[in-house]
Structure formats: C-alpha cells, structure tokens
Structure 1
C-alpha cells in the first residue's frame, strides 16, 4: 500500500479540513432545523504502488476500502455506507407537530475521483517540491428534510479549490437545477 506517512502531506489531514469546512457550513445554515444528522461515506481509494516516469507520477493497483479510522478522528460525524445515504427517508409520524422535530439529514458521499486527485497531488507535492498547481475537489451531498409535512430531498455539491500547499483557496456550494 502507498504509505501516506511517507508523503509531505497526509491526504487524511486534507480530508479532515474539507469535512470540517462542510460541517461548519451546514451548521451555520437553517436554524429552523436544529436536529442535524450529518453522515459520511468513508470509502477511499488506496494504491499498492506509485511510480515516477517520464510522464509524471503513476498510481497503480487501486483498492476501495472503508476507512472507518478516518471518521473516528472527526467529532460529530457518523460513518455509513453509500447505500444508507441513498436510502435514508423521513416518515411523517408527528403529523401536527413542528418540522424542527424531524432530523435534517446530510449524507456526504465519498468522491472517489476527487480523492484520487488528492492522493495524486500529495504524491506530486512529495516528488516535485517546486511545482505549483491548483486542483478541485467536488463533494456530493444529499439533504433530506421534512417541509410542509412532506419529505423533501435535495442534491448539491461543495466545490473546493486547493493549491500546492493544500490550502483551501475557496469553496462554494453548487445546486442542481430542477
């Protein structure tokens, strides 16, 4: 396995910074729904080998694993599978009560292609110390709320722009058009 500790920047530290930013943004919005339930799909890609050749860095032999140790480092998050995020629903059991009683669910999907870019650029940072670059990480999120006594579902994305020091230059929330 490609050792993350041998790199200048550990991709899990960057993931933590990204998830913390998302967590803070979600908690700042919609005080009408105080019962927030934020979960993460902890799937990540690991590589058995990496090589430097005339074309650059090549990551080999990918494996997709559930990195549950990663979620234990982040307070406030619960790890679940992609299937659990996809199938989460809210049933209207309170009928005449306030909507704030219902959970405000946020399922954060594992963006495998973005995690690949993160690991790739961590390797570039390790081998090509003077190289400058910027790259994006796009995180899909599923939000489920009870509104007007009906379950409402919304998909959106957090788009992060990072530089060669893995500093978040900017992030924005992107919504799908109806």
Structure 2
C-alpha cells in the first residue's frame, strides 16, 4: 500500500509541476495529508485486528493446531469481513488498488496534454528528455495496472465467491 501511495504521490507531483508554474505547498500538503490519513486509518485498523483477532489465547491455539500438519506455508490469519476493522482495511486496499491506476492515468493524460503541444518548439536534446520523461511516466502508471489489478481482481473474486 505504501509503495502504491508513494508512486501515486510522485505522479501527482509531476502533474502539479506541469499544471502550475509555481508549486503550492497547500495543494501538495492536502494531497499528502489525504494519503497519510489513509495510511493512518489502515494502520489503526491493523492494530485493532491484532488485539481482536490474534492476541487472544484461544485464537492463537486455533492457529497452532491449524499449522501443525503444514510443511510449506503457515496460516497466520484470515480475512474476516464480519469484523469492522478488517472490512475497513479490505475496502481501503481494494479501492486503492483499483482506483489509483485510474486516477494516475488521468493525471498522466493531463501531464501529456500540457507537454506534448510544446514538444516541437524546443531543442532536440530537450525534446529527447521530454519524450523520456513521458515514457517513464507512462511506465510508472501502466505497471501497477498490469501487476496489481489482475491479482487483486482474482482476490476480490475469490472473496466474493466464498461469501455465497
């Protein structure tokens, strides 16, 4: 989650730099504050989950018994959407994984629309640098779309299918 949010923040910073000549600490601070508050809510939910679903002795005993006959992988917990902190975290993670690539693509298009019309009026070295910047920005936006989203769609499907 943190890596996705930091990648999104760098994309936003690039958008802000292309959209506004003078950077605004207030705009950047607002976006950073929103991202930090998302992390804070998620971490708070995790702390509650530790105390509610892994700290009690009967739950630890359940996992001990469950993991006795396993050789490769141990079960350390399950997603229980009937518990409020788990449901909140589930919504946060899935919203970020599915929403950030869409928002990042929107920002990439805005940056590209600002930079591309002026590309013919600049020197060859600056043009090459601008094209490299746009390619890097495109890779930064597209990779999460191809890597995170399919895995999380499968996870979302299995979670929804297991509820029915």
Does the TM-score normalized on the shorter chain lie above 0.5? no
Higher strand fraction (1 or 2): 1
Q: Say which structure, 1 or 2, has more relative contact order (CA 8 Å, 6+ apart).
A: 2
Higher helix fraction (1 or 2): 2
Instruction: Give the TM-score taking structure 1 as reference length.
Output: 0.27
